[in-house]
Amino acid sequence: MKTTSPAQGAEPDLWHHYGRSRADTDRTVPDSFSWVWAQDGGPGAEVLGDLTDLVVADLGAGAARHAAHLVAHQAPARVDAIDASSAQHAMACSLYGCLAPRLRPLHADAIEHLDAHPDEYDVLYSVFGSLCFADPRRLLSVAARALRPGGLLVASTLGCYVGGAPAEPDVRHADIPARTSDGTPTTMRRWVLQEHVWTKLLDEAGFTEISIDRLPSATSGSRSADTLLVRACRQG
């Protein structure tokens, strides 16, 4: 299902390759939910609280594995799995279309979708999704409006660059390497920000009860990174 035009509609789909080989072999609904970069443990879905009868959205859901877990293991009214990538959206529909209507894959840019749906959601969450790849000033502002008063935002994002370089002390993106669907090298924007920068952005967007936990990587290596787990509420 498509609600608004994805920002990447006219652009190359830089998420064409992501999760593709796993989708070929693993079509199961995950029996766990992880926020951390390595997806190997740490806090799980309990961070979101009891989702019974709540309207939820995953911002940058990819193949919707986290959303599928929530629908299968809790009783939300609906989880919208929003992704701007046509490849990721197609993967989510193919893997978890069977969980409709409570799981609803949406092909949309998160900023455009949230902007068009004020007061729609009880809970917004993101696991290394839109919060990392969309301008956080714009995303947080529309997220605050798309939440109902008192609604909850939870997101995981990088606490440092992959490999260990420190996060940015200001709202500044990096251009990180990416590949188009035909393999041509290019770059995409990624926001890797220090805790105090996220706190200020959330505050400016109208969030309250802001907390940011650093979850250190359990392993060391060139692909390891700390996770920041960001939590905040829309003012009630």
Ligand X SMILES: C[S@@+](CC[C@H](N)C(=O)[O-])C[C@H]1O[C@@H](n2cnc3c(N)ncnc32)[C@H](O)[C@@H]1O
Q: By CB under 6 A, name the binding residues for ligand X.
A: 7, 15, 18, 60-62, 65, 82-85, 88, 109-111, 127-130, 133-134
- Distance of alpha carbon 205 from its chain centroid, rounded? 18
Tokens of 120: 């729609």
The conformation of residue 119, written as its DSSP 8-state character, comes to: T
For residue 21, the minimal CB distance to ligand X (Å) is 13
Task: Kindly tell me which of 7 and 72 has the beta carbon lying closer to ligand X.
Answer: 7
Which residue, 14 or 236, is less far from ligand X as judged by CB? 14
Distance between CA atoms of residues 91 and 69, nearest Å: 16
Minimum Å distance from CB 236 to ligand X? 27
Rounded least distance, CB 151 to ligand X, Å: 19
Is residue 144 within a helix (H) or strand (E), and if so which, with residue range?
Answer: helix 136-146
If the CB atoms of residues 183 and 236 are measured against ligand X, the closer one turns out to be 183
H or E segment and range at residue 106: strand 103-107
Could you tell me the smallest distance in angstroms from the CB atom of residue 62 to ligand X? 3
Nearer to ligand X, 18 or 148 (CB): 18
Tokens found for residue 58:
């995953």
Closest alpha carbon to 20 in 103, 104, 87: 87
Rank residues 148 and 190 by Cβ distance to ligand X and give the closer one: 190
CB of 232 to ligand X, least distance (A): 18
Output 15 or 96, the one with its CB closest to ligand X: 15
Residue 41, Ramachandran bin (φ over 0: left; ψ between -120 and 50: alpha; else beta):
left
Strand blocks (E) in 159-226: 173-179, 185-191, 207-215
On whether the CB atoms of residues 153 and 219 are closer than 8 A, the answer is no
If the CB atoms of residues 33 and 235 are measured against ligand X, the closer one turns out to be 33
42-68: b or e for each residue (b if 16 or more CB lie within 10 Å)?
bbebebbeebeebbbbbbbbbbbbbbb
Minimum CB separation from ligand X for residue 227, in Å? 12
Q: How far is the CB of 40 from ligand X (least distance, A)?
A: 13
Question: Rounded to 5 degrees, what are φ and ψ at 41?
Answer: 135, -150
